[in-house]
Structure formats: C-alpha cells, structure tokens
Amino acid sequence: MIPDIKIFTDASSLNSISEFASFSWISGFTTNPTLMRQSGVTDYKTFATEAIASADGKSLSLEVVADDLPTMLQQGRILGSWGPNVVVKIPITTTMGESCLPVVRTLLDEGFSVNVTAIMTDDQISSLLAIIVPEDDAIVSVFAGRIADSGVDPVPLMTKYAGLVSEVPGSQLLWASPREVLNIVQAADSGCDIVTVTPGLLQKMSSLGKDLDQFSLETVRMFYDDALSAGLAIHS
C-alpha cells in the first residue's frame, strides 16, 4: 500500500530513471551534484539531456553548481531551457551563507519551476514562503533526514511546515533525505506533498503493511539460511 503522497526518486543513474519512469506511482526525479559524482557523471549536459528524455515527461530537478548568485542565475536559466519538465534546483544559501532567494525570485518571475533545496530551519522556511506568489511553481525541499541526523525529531517540524506551505499557493513541501520506509509514512501523515526516495528505499517499500509475524519468520529463516551457506557450526 503506497501512502497518499507524491513520490520522487533520486536520479542516481540513467538506468534507474528509465526503470522508474514506467512506474505510474513515481511522479518525478531529483538529482544533485553529489549523486552525479557518485554515478561518475562528468558531462552535465549529456547526462541531463538523456535524463530528461528518460524521465518521460515526469518532473526532473536539476541543480546549479555555482556558488555565486549571478552565475547561479545564469546556470538556472540554462537548465530550465533544456526541457519543459525540468525543475531548476537552487540551494537556500551559498557556501558562505548568502541567501539565494534573489535568484529564486528572478527564476520564478521568468516562469521557471524552482526547487529550493537544503532547507533545515524555521527562518529559511519563512523567508522562502514570504516571496512565493500563487502563480509560482515552487518546491520547498526540507532535509528532514538530516534534521533527524542531528538528533531532532523532524515530524513535528514537518507537520508545522506543511501547515505553513498549505497557506501559500504556488508552493509544495518536499520531505528530503528519508532514511527508512517509516519516513515515507511520516511524510504523508505530516501533510507533505512530496517525498524523495532512493532506489534502495524504493525496494524496501514492498514491506509496507507487511504482517509482522510473517516478517519475523522470514527474518529467522534468513539467519538460518545464511548460517548454512556460511558453513557455521558451534562445537564444544
């Protein structure tokens, strides 16, 4: 059973995009420079061109790689021109902490869809929502998984943010960096519009709603089969 939420998957490779584009319950794809580096991408435009085609019209977030506002704006315009399904991904700040909201507002004014990423604080949320108007197409990507990594429960925060975003037409709230299947359920229950899911986590979604007695039995069988395969024995 798939929760009532849009599911985007990390575009970690062209093969994964092609595979998941055929799934009706996958609504879009996201990528970032870290995922691209891990996949061995060195030619951004070649990768993006093939990814756009493989996505079969579904949303595809492509991130700028600059660290100054003028170049970010230039890159954002280029990325947005590559296809109608491209969402230009802009970090909330530069590496020096300078707000990127002027770039976001300009791109939105020019009719581009924008995904604002790496958001983790109340101030970042409020300042972004303050510049969004109903005519915009903006994704508000909050890194709930990284918030959890800091020892803070993200669920109350995401529930609060969902309430704020729901009052701002033109915006959608995205739960980013989930670590486990439970996070997908939490994202839906907290009122988020979208959740990003890694290909590995997608495979685990088959466990959603699984009978726990059966799950326990399968786990015991796994341990036993692995012991046999490894030839493990206990002797006095």
Token pair recorded at residue 86? 């491209």
Burial (CB count within 10 angstroms: exposed 0-12, middle 13-18, buried 19+), residue 229: exposed
Question: Tokens 């020096």 — which residue?
Answer: 96
In sequence order, which ranges of the chain are alpha helices (DSSP H)? 14-21, 33-38, 44-54, 69-81, 101-109, 122-129, 144-149, 154-166, 181-189, 199-204, 212-230
DSSP 121: S
The active-site residue out of 89, 160, 204, 210 is 89
Written as one letter, the residue type at 235 is H
- Identify whether 210 is a catalytic site residue: no
User: Annotated catalytic sites, by residue?
Assistant: 89
